[in-house]
Amino acid sequence: MASISSGRLEKFSIGRVFSNTFSVIGRSFGSIAVIVGLFTTLPALIYNYWNFSRLASFGPEGVAGMEQAALANYGFVSMIAALVIFVLAFLAQAALVRATVESMNGKHPTIGDCVQIALRSLLPTFGIGIVVFLAMVVAGLIAAFIAALIPFLGWLIALAIVVATAMWVLSISVAIPVVVQEREGVFGSISRSRHLTKGSRWSIFGLFLIIGIMAVVIQGGFSLVIGFMVASAGGISSSGVAAGAIASSLVSSIFSTLISVAIAVTYVELRQVKEGASVDELAEIFS
């Protein structure tokens, strides 16, 4: 199979990124499914089943029906589970970057190779996640403080801080592919991503907005169905627990896969637009 065109592209194209994203998923569905299944779907399924089971044991009241000790234990386990899922999500994204570049180069990505590259990149990948998380927390706290301190004008300043933070996050959206493909460190990858996304950020925003709307609509529909089932049955049955856990895990896995592959394709697109780099050149880094 021939690789994607290696010529320099004139500008970033949302349509081309979408097309290449679904092409990659279609061509390498088996490898991608195993990677996502191991590092995203399975952990989410275990957590969601535990979560639904826990809520079901307290009847229709859910969390509100828990005693203080049970609630504290529930919160602690949830926090640990969220941290594990957080780390595995970055591992999955790094593996999917490798799989995407290999697929766009006309090759069949192997699971072992993708996981090996992901493990090699795990620390800087996780570091980027921590930097983004801390930046968002700090920006949120500052925005909340200013909004509370200064009537009306403070809300406008807070909104400006939130928007600026969102644009900064958008500017470093391909930092993880940079880590995987160019082996840069945390801050080197962030700086490199800002360079690559400059001039294309509104287009990238449009891409992520479309994916986000799709996710919200489908997740919202799923939540309504689960809510209706709970209301009709007067609680969550054992079969409802299993169905809810599986459906929730699949929905989250589908969109985490879509966004991860789209980010990797976006990175390749930006390299071609700004530098005329071919997919072959990107893949040769690990040859």
Residue of 22, 87, 1 whose CA lies nearest to 257: 22
| Residue 252: predicted pLDDT | 80
pTM of the model: 0.79
- Higher-confidence residue: 124 or 41? 124
In tens, the pLDDT along 159-201 reads: 999 999 999 999 999 999 999 988 889 999 999 999 999 989 9
| Residue 275: predicted pLDDT | 80
| Residue 74: predicted pLDDT | 62
| Residue 70: predicted pLDDT | 57
| Residue 30: predicted pLDDT | 92
Range of weakest confidence among 38-47, 74-83, 129-138, 166-175: 74-83
| Residue 279: predicted pLDDT | 60
In tens, the pLDDT along 98-110 reads: 999 989 888 888 9
Query: Which amino acid is present at 18?
Result: F
What is the full DSSP assignment across 76-106? HHHHHHHHHHHHHHHHHHHHHHHHHHHHHTT
| Residue 34: predicted pLDDT | 93
CB hemisphere CA count around 98 (13 angstroms): 27
- Higher-confidence residue: 111 or 46? 111
In tens, the pLDDT along 216-274 reads: 887 777 767 666 665 555 555 556 656 666 777 788 888 889 999 999 999 999 998 88
Out of 3-17, 143-157, 239-253, give the one with best mean pLDDT: 143-157
Please return the burial class of 94, using the count of CB atoms within 10 Å of its CB with bins 0-12, 13-18 and 19+: buried
| Residue 1: predicted pLDDT | 40
Distance separating the N- and C-terminal Cα atoms of the chain: 18
Distance CA 271, CA 180 (A): 14
Tell me the Cα Rg of the chain.
21
| Residue 4: predicted pLDDT | 47
In tens, the pLDDT along 58-75 reads: 555 444 545 555 555 666
Give residue limits of the domains in the chain.
27-120+199-286
In tens, the pLDDT along 76-92 reads: 777 887 888 888 888 99
Q: How many CB atoms lie within 10 A of CB 160?
A: 12
